[in-house]
Structure 1
Amino acid sequence: MTTPSPENEPQWERQLLEKLALAALQEQRAKRRWGIFFKLAGLSYLVAVLVLFVDWGAPDALADGRHTAVVHLNGTIESGGESSAQNINEALRFAFGDKGTAGVILRVNSPGGSPVQAGIVHDEIRRLRAKHPQIALHVVVEDLCASGGYYVAVAADQIFVDKASIVGSIGVLMDGFGFTGTMEKLGVERRLLTAGVNKGFLDPFSPQDAKQKVHAQVLLGEIHKQFIEVVRQGRGARLKETPEMFSGLMWTGSQSVQLGLADGFGTVGSVARDVIKAERIVDFTVKDNIAERFARRLRAETTTGVAALLGAIGLPALR
């Protein structure tokens, strides 16, 4: 009896094995191709969502035609914030510089903030109004236009409010905390070394110095005087001064119209339609991108935490 040699092995078995191996290889290749396809499709979808829904910091795309330009001033006026002088002024320059702009509305909803930042915006509004005398700028107040917000507003041609808006707070403050009593109870000794007798000005961990307090009051008084001057300059003969007008008090929108702090009642839509006569509204507000928003939120949370722990003194503020 003879043993079958490899040459005599049936060919159909070998062919079957080759076909099975080839089919398995083709299936793996197909899976890999589909995997790449779905990954690319997912990436394309993500890019489309980002393009459509994420603010990239530019003003709205403009179409041809006459329009009312709107810039939003929301929240605290501060360097590095959403309503910094850099952001607001850049938006205003875009708005005044667009050939289709019939008028500009600055929509204000702010408790105030840095007197420096508010002053920079105020001065830029006056410059732009002088450069473009054919384009009026009106302020529309929603909930709140106080302190630094009002410092900005008085640079406008007219100020419109809601009857329930809160307007005013023409004053300056410098706030902080004193921890000397707490430190004594905890047995903590303050060791402060300075070169210059007033270098530790209003240090919250040292007893309050009477001379430094007087000097701080002089600083606040000077900034308050500047504030009063810009209000008188901006409102002119419309202002009906009272003994309490510059005391830091606030008034309703209705009261502010009676006092000459505002000119009348209106919204963004009504002012665009009835005053500027250009009902179509285009938003020129400079908006932060995702990274800037995250950085600002992180900075705000960090600042709040440090202030709560240390009670560091603040700079003069219009709020």
Structure 2
Amino acid sequence: MAEPTTPKRNWLQRLIGRSKTTIPVIRLHGVIAAEQRQGRLNIASVAPLLKRAFSVKSAPVIAIIVNSPGGSPVQSRLIAKRIRDLADEHNKPVLVFVEDAAASGGYFIAVAGDEIIVDPSSIVGSIGVIMAGFGFVGALEKLGIERRVHTAGNNKSTLDPFLPEKQSDIERIKQFEIDIHNVFIDVVKTRRGAKLRAADDALFTGEWWTGIRAVDLGLADSIGDIHEVLHTRYGKDIELKVIEPKRPWFGVPRIGFAAGLAGDISATVEDRSVWARFGL
């Protein structure tokens, strides 16, 4: 009997034939701030995750889940820029999936994606800049407390909550906000381009919309979720590899337990106030 013309596949070939398509997934959840605390997003905490995700050479795409009400404009831009730099370097598309919110700085990060996919009820947009504080003018006098402040520079006491607001300070702060706002607008226009389907005075007022409305405006591309979209585009035989921060064996030492606890509580209250602006 003649030998078969087609040789049997060896174990390695069978293994390759059964291998799944790996897609790295990075979850960016939290308020964006430079401070190094759990639940905060900044370039220091996000950059290692991005590096690990883009190092998966076989991955056909990088998936990023965004759930953030915003925060630091600087950290937002740095994260978005790092995403684009790595995407260009590795020639990989980036899909961004929005959960509850991609607002303000969260949307700044989202536009780094080649596509933005949202839930119908996601909060999207808030392309603006806000600075807020409190005024306690007269409070110390009522308490019988004398405050002593000495500065070098006429504008060094800007935003001092115990001094009356000066019109010159308000004008300088407004220009500061406008400068940052213009950076935000330029990035959105550069990334979204012809996809935007509304005038500037409608899109860039700081207003936010539902996901379904954001698609109509061109701020997002489509409605969907990560599992549905990735399985539809890349087949059923895929493996989502969640890229998470590496946990140290031992906790990071703190200087003073009480001080650290007080700082954590303060940060939690601050974060909740940012989320609360969007009813979340």
Partner of residue 242, structure 2: 283
Pair 1:96 & 2:96 matched: no
Other-structure match for 2:117: 160
* Residues in 2 aligned to 1:274 and 1:84: alpha-carbon distance in whole angstroms: 32
1:66 aligns to 2:21 (yes or no): yes
Superposition deviation, residue 190 in structure 1: 2.5
**Is residue 235 from structure 1 mapped to residue 192 from structure 2 by the alignment?**
yes
- The corresponding residue for 2:132 is 175
Q: Is there any run of 5+ residues in structure 1 with no aligned partner, and where? A: 1-63, 312-318
Cα deviations by residue, 1:48-77 (Å, 9 ceiling, x for unpaired): xxxxxxxxxxxxxxxx74211100100101
Q: Indicate whether 1:147 and 2:85 are aligned.
A: no
Q: Distance in 2 between matches of 1:241 and 1:293?
A: 51
Find the residue that maps to 1:283 and give its secondary structure: strand
TM-score of the aligned structures, taking structure 2 as reference length: 0.80
Q: Where does residue 80 of structure 2 map in the other structure?
A: 122
Alpha-carbon contact 1:190-1:206 (below 8 Å) kept? no
- 1:316 is aligned to none
- Mapped partners of 2:30, 2:151: distance in 1: 37
Cα displacement (A) at 1:210: 1.4
TM-score by structure 1 length? 0.70
How many residues align structurally? 245
Deviation at 1:307, TM superposition (A): 11
Contact 1:77–1:113 at 8 Å: present in 2 too? yes
Alignment correspondent of 1:26: none
Instruction: Call closer, same or farther: CA 1:94–1:259 in 2, change over 3 Å.
Output: same
Indicate the residue corresponding to 1:202 in structure 2.
159
Task: Give the 3-state SS of the residue equivalent to 2:106 in structure 1.
Answer: helix
Decide which of 49, 55, 65 is 1:107's aligned counterpart.
65
- Per the TM alignment, residue 285 of structure 1 is displaced from its structure 2 partner at its CA by 2.6
Deviation at 1:255? 0.1
8 A Cα contact 1:158 1:262, kept in partner? yes
Q: Does 1:302 align with 2:263?
A: yes
Bigger-Rg structure (1/2):
1
1:225 aligns to 2:186 (yes or no):
no
1:97 Cα deviation after fit: 1.1
Q: For 1:36-51, list aligned pairs within 5 A.
A: none
- After TM superposition, give the deviation of residue 206 of structure 1 in Å: 1.3
Q: Retained in 2: the 8 A contact 1:109–1:144? A: yes
Give the superposition deviation at 1:185: 2.3
User: Deviation of residue 241 (structure 1)?
Assistant: 2.3
Q: Tell me if structure 2 keeps the 8 A contact 1:103–1:276.
A: no
Counterpart Cα distance in 2 of 1:187 and 1:307: 32
2:206 to 245, 248, 253: 248
SS in 2 for 1:248: coil
Q: Following the alignment from structure 1 to structure 2, what is the Cα–Cα distance between the partners of residues 209 and 95?
A: 49
Greater helix fraction, Structure 1 or Structure 2: 1
**Distance in 2, Cα, partners of 1:99 & 1:150:** 27
**Partner residue in 1 for 2:6:** none
Gaps of 5+ in 2: 1-18, 271-277
8 Å CA contact retained: 2:118, 2:220:
yes
